[in-house]
């Protein structure tokens, strides 16, 4: 068994959560359980990307609705959406959930006031001596400092403060990669925008100590991955997250038949697009930048652990606004 040649932040986090789940997901590349929440997240990201591709003056809620309508038409054609096999009578509810996330985005910030340097930006390089790669949701310019801000949207609810630091791991890795690739400006901030039921912003100033700590985590986790792949020993780490693990029914910690899964479990097809090596962050010098097109590889599916397919909207997640919002979001038959 071999550690993948390039790692993503989610791969590192997966190993730290449970080495066996990481093996099944990132080494064996077994199929994951389709996740509605991950699917809604993909949709909301596509709306945000489309809106940030417009001139700042056009980044309005009405344009967002138009972008959502267009994106939904494409979204329902996607295999990952179709794998969910959502009954038609649940689709309006799901549209509401997705649209509420877009509305919350507008409550957290004015997209028209953001100086966008790139969206869905492919970044790669070394962190802690390990080849890493990933996709930055949005790279902004902080007008106050002139530095870059790495912004990631999260469509779940904002975690309690005690969990916020570990969730930031991915944006810290991206801060490293952006700093190495785009040295014209320093990276001054990383931030998460939580667009779920409990919306909010988590932002941190970038410091050399924080970057060094991230590099250490990457390097030490990589060493543990090498060791596990060399010995074939992958620990199971039971936690509350097992409830969302795609492989729980085959996990030995829960009496599952791991060997049968390894022998017969379907593998994922790699649908990543080739990287466009010409993709670059546009530097501004006072001019509103164009958005870098989304030509990077797509993330390799949903995270190994994630929320289950929901059966109904979460409490407090009832739609607000007029029914026309839902009707405008997508054709009812969607
Ligand atoms: S069910 Fe839990 S312990 Fe088993 S592989 Fe998944 S995350 Fe690991």
**CA distances in angstroms from 279 to 6, 68, 153, 275, 324, listed in the order given:** 19, 25, 21, 8, 38
CATH 2.30.29 fits 9-329, yes or no: no
Q: Which helix (H) or strand (E) element contains residue 101?
A: helix 91-108
Write the residue with the smallest CA distance to atom 1 of ligand 1.
248
Looking at ligand 1, which atom is closest to the CA of residue 19?
A: 8
**Mean residue pLDDT across the chain:** 84
According to DSSP, the residues that pair with 150 across neighbouring strands are 139, 190
- What tens digit of pLDDT does each residue of 259-281 get? 999 999 999 876 655 555 555 55
pLDDT at 308 over 50: no
pLDDT at 315 over 80: no
Question: Token digits for 74?
Answer: 């494409």
- Ligand 1 environment, Cβ below 6 A: 18, 20-21, 236-238, 241-242, 245, 247-248, 251, 253-254
Closest to 211 measured CA to CA, from 172, 166, 174, 167: 172
* Entry pTM: 0.82
225, pLDDT greater than 90: yes
Per-residue pLDDT at 318 exceeds 80: no
Nearest to 49 by CA among 109, 127, 125, 102: 102
Model confidence pLDDT, tens digit, residues 111-163: 999 999 999 999 999 999 999 999 999 999 998 899 999 999 999 999 898 88
C-alpha 156/C-alpha 159 separation (Å) is: 8
Q: Distance between CA atoms of 334 and 330, rounded to whole angstroms? A: 6
């Amino acid at each position: 068994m071999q550690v993948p040649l390039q790692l993503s932040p989610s791969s590192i986090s997966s190993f730290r959560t449970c080495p066996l789940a990481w093996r099944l997901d990132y080494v064996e590349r077994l199929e994951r359980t389709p996740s509605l929440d991950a699917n809604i997240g993909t949709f909301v990201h596509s709306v945000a990307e489309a809106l940030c591709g417009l001139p700042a003056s056009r980044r309005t809620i009405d344009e967002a609705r138009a972008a959502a309508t267009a994106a939904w038409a494409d979204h329902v054609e996607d295999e990952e959406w179709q794998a969910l096999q959502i009954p038609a009578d649940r689709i309006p509810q799901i549209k509401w959930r997705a649209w509420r996330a877009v509305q919350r985005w507008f409550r957290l910030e004015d997209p028209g006031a953001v100086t966008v340097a790139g969206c869905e930006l492919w970044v790669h390089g070394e962190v802690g001596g390990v080849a890493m790669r990933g996709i930055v949701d949005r790279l902004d310019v902080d007008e106050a400092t002139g530095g870059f801000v790495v912004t990631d949207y999260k469509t779940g609810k904002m975690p309690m403060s005690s969990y916020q630091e570990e969730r930031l791991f991915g944006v810290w890795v991206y801060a490293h990669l952006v700093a190495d690739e785009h040295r014209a400006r320093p990276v001054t901030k990383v931030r998460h925008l939580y667009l779920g039921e409990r919306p909010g912003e988590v932002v941190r100033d970038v410091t050399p100590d924080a970057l060094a700590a991230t590099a250490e985590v990457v390097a030490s986790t990589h060493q543990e991955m090498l060791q596990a792949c060399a010995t074939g020993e992958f620990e199971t780490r039971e936690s509350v997250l097992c409830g969302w693990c795609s492989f729980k029914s085959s996990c030995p910690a829960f009496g599952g038949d791991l060997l049968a899964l390894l022998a017969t479990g379907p593998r994922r097809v790699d649908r990543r697009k080739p990287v466009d090596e010409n993709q670059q962050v546009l530097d501004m010098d006072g001019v509103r930048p164009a958005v870098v097109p989304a030509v990077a590889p797509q993330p390799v599916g949903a995270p190994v652990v994630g929320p289950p397919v929901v059966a109904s909207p979460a409490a407090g997640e009832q739609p607000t606004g007029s029914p026309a919002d839902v009707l405008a979001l997508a054709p009812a038959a969607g």
